[in-house]
Each structure stands twice: as structure tokens, then as C-alpha cells.
Amino acid sequence: MTEIIEFLKSEIKRSEETLSTEYNQAYIVGCSDDGQIAVFPCQLQIPFHYPKSISELESYDEPQHFIIDESNWNEEWLTVAEFEKDYETACLPENEEKFDELINDAINKRIMTLKEACVQLNVLKPIVFVQSESEYWFEVNTIHLAGPELPEMPEPSCDIEVLSRLLRHTVSAPQYSLKIENGVVTEVDLNGGSTNDSTIDLLRNIPNLSELLKGLKRINLESAAISTKSLDFLKTEIQDVELNYTPYKAN
């Protein structure tokens, strides 16, 4: 733990000495599969934006949520022996059938360890963990570690915006996962193990959810890693929608 704390402290200090203030608005802590961690100071693009229209869905210039000064920041990586060991254990031939379970446990363990370390830094800016294999990071892919929370998202104003958030969470491309008829989303693909209860939780606390998604007829949830609680929520809050669901089965 001491090694992690000292590394994070050193990297944040280096960023303050190297980068301009605008690129030190928040800190992303990334972690590779094999257990290396790095710090990415960034600028927040507020308010966080998700596509709201068909034209935005088809654009290749979607605004990013976190801007890293790549020309002036060369990240350093620290191998965390405990993280590395957990990954190597999961990759052993005898653990093939429970690989996914072991990896999920390892990720949760990493998050808890990093939270404990980051709290001790007493940094007055958001520090978040990014849970995404994509090269593009969005607000929905973050997990709060320490410091202030990231600014809240404004309430969504249309069906495309609501569902784009879910698709970004599952690292899917919205333009390929939504069926739109007469300007209204009628079907969405949320297939695969990347769709979990955290994905569905993004729909909670949206006061006019049923009105925003009134044109939605079908949600595809094939091999989705969601619980009965999430299914019940969808059935209750988005009425008259067909749920094409099959449970996720780990390899």
C-alpha cells in the first residue's frame, strides 16, 4: 500500500510541476490487465456530452469527456505485485473455467485498494478509476476513488441521449446499436457480458424515463450479466417493451 501511495503522490506532484492548471482538473488512475497502474491528469469537458441526435451519432467528432495533454505528459507505470499475482493466478490453465469470476474479483480488489490509497492523498480534485478497455474514456466509465465527485450529468432530454450513455458504459458504438424509425429509437442492443447492473443503474433517478423511452419497443440483452433486480426495474419503468434476455455464462 505504501508503494502505491508514494507513486500516486509523486505522479500528481509531477503533473502539477509539468502541466498547466487546465490539465490538472482531475486525475484518472488507469490499471492494465497485468497489474500496472498509471496516473493521467486531465481537463474536464463540462458539461459532459452524449449524442442527442442522429447526426451526432454519425459524427466522428464526438466531444471527449477527458482531455489529456499528451504532448507534455508521459505517463509512468508502476507494477503492483499483488495485482500482477491475481492476474497470473486467473490465467493459470486450471482456472480456465472460472477466469471471468477471478478477473472480476481482481478488479473489485484493485478498486478497493486504490480507493484506500487515494483517500490518504488528501487531494482536493476528483480522482477516478476508469473501467474501460476503450481508448476513449467517458464519464460513465469512471468509478470515484477520492476527492470531490465529478460534476453531475444534466438530465437527458431525449431517447438517443439516454441510451448513448448506456452504450458508452458497455464500450459499444451507439450508431451501430440503435434502431431508429421516424426519428425515434425503437430498439437497442445491449448484448454481452459488458452489460451489467451498473449499466441499468444509469437509468435510475431519471424522473421522466418512461416518457423519454416511450417509443422503445425492444431491448436486446443476450448474454447480459444483469440480475433479476435490473430486469424487474426495466419491466416496471419501461412498460410495453420486449426484453430479449438470455443470461451471461462465464467461459
Note the pTM of the prediction, 2 decimals: 0.89
Q: Which residues contact 90 (CB under 8 A, 6 or more apart)?
A: 99, 102, 103, 106
Q: What is the pLDDT of residue 250?
A: 67
8 Å CB contact between 78 and 3? yes
**Per-domain residue ranges of the chain:** 2-146, 159-247
> How confident is the model at residue 134, as a pLDDT?
62
- Tens digit of each residue's pLDDT (9 = 90 or more) over 1-55: 899 999 999 999 999 999 999 999 999 999 988 899 999 999 999 999 999 988 8
Task: Return d(Cα 194, Cα 246) in angstroms, integer.
Answer: 14
Query: What pLDDT, in 10s, does the model give residues 226-240?
Result: 999 999 999 999 988
β 78-79/218-224 pair status: unpaired
Averaged pLDDT, 209-215: 95
Residue range 77-107, pLDDT digits in tens: 999 999 999 999 989 899 888 888 888 889 9
Cα angle 19, 113, 94 (rounded to 5 degrees) comes to: 120
pLDDT at res. 61: 75
Predicted pLDDT at 135: 64
Is residue 178 predicted with pLDDT exceeding 80? yes
Type of residue found at 105:
D
